[in-house]
Homo-oligomer: A and B are copies of this chain.
Amino acid sequence: MRKPCDYTPVWLMRQAGRYLQEYNDTRMKAGSFIKLAQSPDLACEVTLQPVERFGLDAAILFSDILTVPDAMGLGLSFVAGEGPKFERPIRDEEAVKQLHVPDPNNELKYVIDAVSAIRKALSNRIPLIGFSGSPFTLACYMVEGGASKDFRTIKTMMYSRPDLLHRILDVNAESVAAYLNAQIRAGVQAIQIFDTWGGVLADQAYKIFSLAYMRKVIDLLDLGKGEDRVPVIVFTKGGTPWLEAISHCGADAIGVDWTCNLAKARRLVQDGVALQGNLDPMVLFGSEKTIREECRRVLDDFGMVNSGGHVFNLGHGINQFTPVESVGILVEEVHSYSRKYH
């Protein structure tokens, strides 16, 4: 992703999703979100849909961050209107003791098979990005038992039994690393670690309970070297306060949400680290004029593409109600306007 090119490459977080009619059709065919994620052929099908429709510059594996705790035996289900639920959340010493690192080639084989299928279908046209949730973000769901507004359960553990949380995070870091290494062996050409909930932590707690474990994951990855190195992108939503610290965790690129303009972000991160982002996904609900202006602003903020590089993206996943034509406008504007910076 750091090779010279004529324009700024663009992909969108959650680009295979409910805003696309063809995605909804495939999901209907699968029967449920979980069945869709667990079918390598259908996961391959939806992974390619946005790539074919919009001419995006990367594909991202269609899957869910909760496949890993599900493979640990926590019992994942999706309740309509409520989001993910775990039947057996991890809340006490006994449950923590029993946690184990799942074998990616066994419990998570369906994901690895999807990677192989997608690589084959793409036949080297564009790179495929693999991904995982961060150890802390997975722990949020594992301890809370689902989505949360105030993260009271996990923060109560953090502030009363930090030893238990550290143990969970250790197991998660090893699990995530094994999972990502299996994705790399199956052919993904870049990795993104989604730290969706690190941003809810206090300053020091972020560094201790989220960033340190992402660094541990990266240390355990078989990324290869030189030209063949598989680049790692770390994205903490709400991570603007910590961009400088994140740039030292071993990642090749940092995802930036829309609260930090990229000119400032470039000043904060160390040389050679690329930036990814950072359009507010809600811009896609605006007029065509506004979409083009806001895409230009992001490109202008980053400016000339230096050795670090810029990958255009949204600052968070695309909203399910996004008008499809807005995405076409975005891709076209990024590809045409960014040429001046290359």
User: Which 10 residue pairs are nearest across A and B when measured between Cβ atoms?
Assistant: A159-B286, A155-B282, A202-B258, A156-B285, A202-B280, A203-B261, A240-B241, A241-B259, A159-B290, A160-B286
Interchain CB contact under 8 A, B204 and A282: no
A238, chain B: closest CB distance, angstroms: 7
A229 is an interface residue with CB less than 8 A from chain B: no
Contacts of A34 in B (CB 8 A): none
Chain B residues, CB < 8 A from A150 = 282, 319
Closest to A287 in B: B160
Give every chain B residue within 8 A of A152 (Cβ-Cβ).
Answer: 282, 285, 319, 321
Q: Give the nearest-CB partner of A259 in chain B.
A: B241
Distance in angstroms between the alpha carbons of A240 and B319 in the assembled complex:
25
The 22 listed contacts between A and B (C-beta, < 8 Å) are A150-B319, A151-B282, A152-B282, A152-B285, A155-B280, A156-B282, A159-B285, A159-B286, A159-B290, A160-B285, A160-B286, A160-B290, A202-B259, A202-B283, A202-B315, A203-B261, A238-B238, A238-B259, A240-B240, A240-B241, A241-B241, A241-B259
Most chain B CB within a 10 A radius of its CB, from A152, A158, A203, A204: A203
Min distance, Cβ A35 to any Cβ of chain B, angstroms: 26
> Quick one: which of B155, B202, B259 contacts A203, CB cutoff 8 A?
B259
How far does the alpha carbon of A151 sit from the alpha carbon of B151 in the complex, in Å?
21
User: How far does the alpha carbon of A159 sit from the alpha carbon of B323 in the complex, in Å?
Assistant: 14
Q: Which residues of A contact B (CB under 8 A)?
A: 150-152, 155-156, 158-160, 199, 201-206, 238, 240-241, 258-261, 264, 280, 282-283, 285-287, 290-291, 294, 297, 315, 319, 321
Please report whether the interface of chain A is mostly helix, strand, loop or mixed according to DSSP. helix
Whether A297 pairs with B204 at a CB distance below 8 angstroms is yes
Write the nearest CB–CB distance from A149 to chain B, whole angstroms: 10
> Taking the nearest CB of chain B, how far is it from the CB of A267, in angstroms?
13
If A152-B321, A290-B159, A321-B152 touch, does A260 touch B241 (CB 8 Å cutoff)?
A: yes
- In whole angstroms, how far apart are the Cα atoms of A202 and B294 in the complex? 11
Report the separation of the CA atoms of residues A234 and B335 in the bound assembly, to the nearest whole angstrom.
41
